[in-house]
Structure 1
Amino acid sequence: MLIESIILKKIREKLLNGFAWSLADKVINQLGYLAITIFLARHIGPESFGFIGMLTIFILLTESVVNNGFSQALVQRSQQVTEQDCSTVFYINIICGTLIYFLLYFSAPSIARFYQEPLLVDISRLLFLVVIINSLTVVVRAKLIIDIDFKSQTIAATIATILSGALAIALVVNGYGYWSLVWMILIKAVIQSIVLWCFCKWVPKERFNKQSFQSLFRFGSNLMFAGFVATLVNNLYIALIGRYYSATQVGYFTQATNLSNYLMQFITSTLQGVTYPIMTSLKEDKEQLVKVYKQLISITMLVSLPMLIGFAAVSREVVLITLGEEWLPVVPVLIALCLARTVTPISAINMNILNAIGRSDLFLKVDLSKLPMTLLALYLALPYGIEGIAWAMVCTSFISFFINAYFPGKMFGFGAIAQLKIASKYIFSSAFMFFITSQVVIFPTDVATLFFKVLIGATIYTTMLLVLRDKFFLYGIGSVKKRWKIFS
């Protein structure tokens, strides 16, 4: 019991330290990056954002091939990973990244013809260089994740965000338009790569090893393919909007996606990045793993639901204040996407636990099973414009939640219904908060309306949880009180 208590204490300390730095990363960098893109959006308009949005799917698909599989394979094997493994993955990623870049380079005219936008040829050939740059840091990032070193990653991302953002602002002020976005993405990747290498101080010391490659590929190939399918499913919407609608419509949808994603990723990637190595370290202890898993679901819903549903309630004010009236068509799309994202954080944890226990084959099955549903939803929604597509995403997200929870339910006895039961207080409180705050329109300015909506929403949500006596919320309040007593 004493040894178990010490182990759990160490895990908790690692988790809290990692979470703190990962949270700092999201606060400083994602909000900073969001502020920069909002500034650019006010100056270059929806069409320029649409050009970049059209190419995003190609970058994400290639990165899912180059980055996802082998990186997570290294993390999953964290206790047995060797220098030979790291060196082998490094060489494979560079080769894959370079080959994919040249494939995309020569495909640029075809991509431009698909979207009927000749400008995309030059834009894509420069922007796709980010694939090679990011392939250089796959092993470095994996090693830092294994060590739960989010401090180095936060510092690297902060430096990259500040410098690339300053360059982008200078370019847009001097009339470079959409090129400011392209160079910001590229320079950020370069700077972040350099700083990460400086922190990690790792260089490949071994030659490529066939046995090591085969061992990692058995696990990583499933994740790679699953990542590719998941990325395709999640981004096919924007690709088809670009094909059948104007670049301006793509810009609106891209901006709505970015705003909802920043908030969702702020929650999901913080928890997922920290918890994956923790759950991996507990994969041999099923009882402890299930305990951590259940707590993660509860804490995630406690935090994510009010943030996403609250953001939907204030979306009009946020768009008017930050982007301006030119971007008002974003609002209905943003509301729908915020609702679609409410189940994404727990879906991510449900998928994460499959990776943590080494069942990437199930991860792949789950993602493949969702592809026909997404294609059907897209086919039915395309005639109804970007709002129709956004509401189709709401439907597919909720169905996907039940699909994602199927295997965890079967293996750990904690499926979709059980997860919804423990989240019922948060769902009810958030829904009530949304109903009340969305009615608030009595103030003369958008800033005043936003301020009071946030204040009213936060008051309603916390009051509801106090009345309902939610144990995680009460535990959080108790922890804050203890810390306050210590400092006072």
Structure 2
Amino acid sequence: MFGVRNIKNLRRKALSGFIWSASDKLINQLGYLGVTVFIARLIGPESFGLIGMLTIFMLLAESVVSNGFSQALVQRSQQLTEEDSSTIFYVNIGWGAAMYILLYFCAPLIAKFYSQPQLVDIARVLFTVLLINSLTVVVRAKLTINIDFKSQAIASTFATLLSSIVGVYLALKGYGYWALVWLLISKAAFNSLGVWFFCRWLPKLIFSYESFKSLFKFGSNLMLAGLVATFVNNLYVALIGRYFNATQVGYFTQATNLSNYASQFISSTLQGVTYPIMTSVKNDKKRLVSIYTQLISITMLISVPLLVGFAAVSEDLVKIILGDEWLPAVPVLVALCFARAITPISSINLNILNAVGRSDLFLKVDLSKLPMTLGALYIALPYGIEGLAWAMVCTSFISFFINAYFPGKLFGFGGIAQLKVAYKYIIAAAVMYAAVTQVSITGSLWLTLIAKIALGAVVYSTLLVILRDTFVLQNAGPIVNKIKQRLVG
């Protein structure tokens, strides 16, 4: 059981980790998004779509290389040995090389699948990212175990800055889609150098079959789950590229990137920080459930209005940052924002299964969603990219209950209980959306956008006070009192 000192130390580490992780996601992801948006304006939807076509193959290979073992190392943090770390380091390098060689020779087949011959050269260059990322799995896990998100944030900042210079320079020089390719490669390379610099760990020339076997037992479930989830989440883009064209892929990919930014900022920040925290208290069920339930409340409080608000201002935002050429992406972006509104909560529900060592349940959850997603794709494909986007809305909400099933069984906080916590946030966000979409100021897109954001914030926060949300009232009071004390002092 945890003592008072340990709990305080855990809170301090969690707060520090959250601040640095949030800063990393906010500054670096926003900066990276800004660069890709700038490049997208220069190269257009078709060139952007060519890179999007390769996404599913890249992410599937990444799942094999890193998904399972990284979390397995963190999950074993309290008993981690040098043999474990060194063994997994060499395994990841081997798998990274194997994935690259496989995809290198499959590049002509990928190009034929999409009827885009230029994808052969693009794929063979872009997939070198797999080799680079395979070198960083263990060092990232070590930094995460120590809740050292400061070092990861600094490394990511420099990587974003330097790779942005590379990408923008190539785009301005007219290199088209190659600007995006080298943006991705240089970002991976600079990030790798950064995390190695901060970790200061070197693998030993040892390989333990026992370490591999025990870590693979846990990690293989996560790897398979990652493969299934990646396949399901990116199958939409692959089918659009197969049955439509690169321009449509560009619209869908850009809408996905924009909606994912807001969603992943919340889920990856909280998940990255809380996973090692929940792992460290996994034997204290009362403490674990307390952290879990509070995390669900905080996430819903933030994610629902943020994504619904994003949907409400999507047209103005696209016009400002991308231009009228990208307006066909707006209906897709609106739908994906609604789909992503609950994604962070689903991530937490799956995260707690990993924290308590139940990667087998994680795998069962992801496998159970596969038939539903394939069925939705089959029905929606004739309706184009908008139909596919709304299919994702439907599957996301059904997936929420599937993801919450096992946490409900294990901890008594399933989908219905979570919705009871969230219903006030959903009501407030729906009213906010209705109010914001009525705002229109002639002649100034920036003024309209600012007015919509301000109105949305006021409407949402006011409604939560009127609805007397318990979580908000309990936490808003102390914050207001501290502000008053500062002002008086």
TM-score range (shorter-chain normalised) is over 0.9
Shift of 1:6: 2.9
Shift of 1:429: 0.6
Shift of 1:26: 0.9
Aligned to 1:183: 182
CA distance in 2, matches of 1:475, 1:34: 35
SS of alignment partner, residue 54 of structure 2: helix
Contact 1:84-1:206 at 8 Å conserved across structures: no
Write the letter of the residue equivalent to 2:404: A
CA distance in 2, matches of 1:48, 1:380: 28
Shift of 1:12: 1.6
Aligned to 2:206: 207
Aligned to 1:311: 310
1:296-445 counterparts in 2 under 5 A?
296-445=295-444
CA distance in 1, matches of 2:64, 2:222: 9
Per-residue CA shift, 1:324-378, capped at 9, x if unaligned? 0000001000000000011100000000000000000000000000011111100
Aligned to 2:473: 474
Aligned to 1:51: 50
Shift of 1:388: 0.2
CA distance in 1, matches of 2:358, 2:15: 26
Per-residue CA shift, 1:232-286, capped at 9, x if unaligned? 1111000111100100000000000000001100111000000100111111011
CA distance in 1, matches of 2:442, 2:333: 22
Q: Do structure 1's residue 153 and structure 2's residue 161 form an aligned pair? A: no
CA distance in 2, matches of 1:252, 1:479: 45
Shift of 1:206: 4.3
Shift of 1:481: 3.1
Contact 1:252-1:327 at 8 Å conserved across structures: yes
SS of alignment partner, residue 328 of structure 1: helix
CA distance in 2, matches of 1:421, 1:234: 28
CA distance in 1, matches of 2:192, 2:341: 32
Write the letter of the residue equivalent to 1:339: F
| Runs of 4+ residues over 6 Å off in structure 1 | none
Contact 1:267-1:345 at 8 Å conserved across structures: yes
Contact 1:429-1:461 at 8 Å conserved across structures: yes
Contact 1:226-1:368 at 8 Å conserved across structures: yes
CA distance in 2, matches of 1:295, 1:437: 29
Aligned to 1:286: 285
Shift of 1:475: 3.9
Shift of 1:27: 1.3
Paired residues in the alignment total: 487
Shift of 1:218: 0.6
TM-score, normalized by length of structure 2? Answer: 0.98
1:440-451 counterparts in 2 under 5 A?
440-451=439-450
Unaligned runs of 5+ in 2: none
Shift of 1:477: 2.8
Per-residue CA shift, 1:87-107, capped at 9, x if unaligned? 000000000000110110011
CA distance in 1, matches of 2:242, 2:481: 56
Aligned to 1:235: 234
Write the letter of the residue equivalent to 2:144: I
CA distance in 1, matches of 2:19, 2:25: 10
Per-residue CA shift, 1:123-174, capped at 9, x if unaligned? 0000000001000000000000000000000000000000000111111111
CA distance in 2, matches of 1:274, 1:190: 24
Contact 1:333-1:390 at 8 Å conserved across structures: yes
Write the letter of the residue equivalent to 2:109: S
Q: Which moved more, 1:231-240 or 1:9-18?
A: 9-18
Contact 2:346-2:404 at 8 Å conserved across structures: yes
Write the letter of the residue equivalent to 1:351: L
CA distance in 1, matches of 2:57, 2:301: 34
CA distance in 1, matches of 2:241, 2:119: 12
CA distance in 1, matches of 2:482, 2:261: 30
Contact 2:129-2:185 at 8 Å conserved across structures: yes
Shift of 1:486: 4.3
Aligned to 1:37: 36
Contact 1:29-1:158 at 8 Å conserved across structures: yes
Shift of 1:483: 4.4
Aligned to 2:116: 117
Per-residue CA shift, 1:32-82, capped at 9, x if unaligned? 001101111111100011001000111111111100101100000000010
1:266-285 counterparts in 2 under 5 A?
266-285=265-284
Q: Do structure 1's residue 96 and structure 2's residue 72 form an aligned pair? A: no
Contact 1:83-1:206 at 8 Å conserved across structures: no
Contact 1:148-1:274 at 8 Å conserved across structures: yes
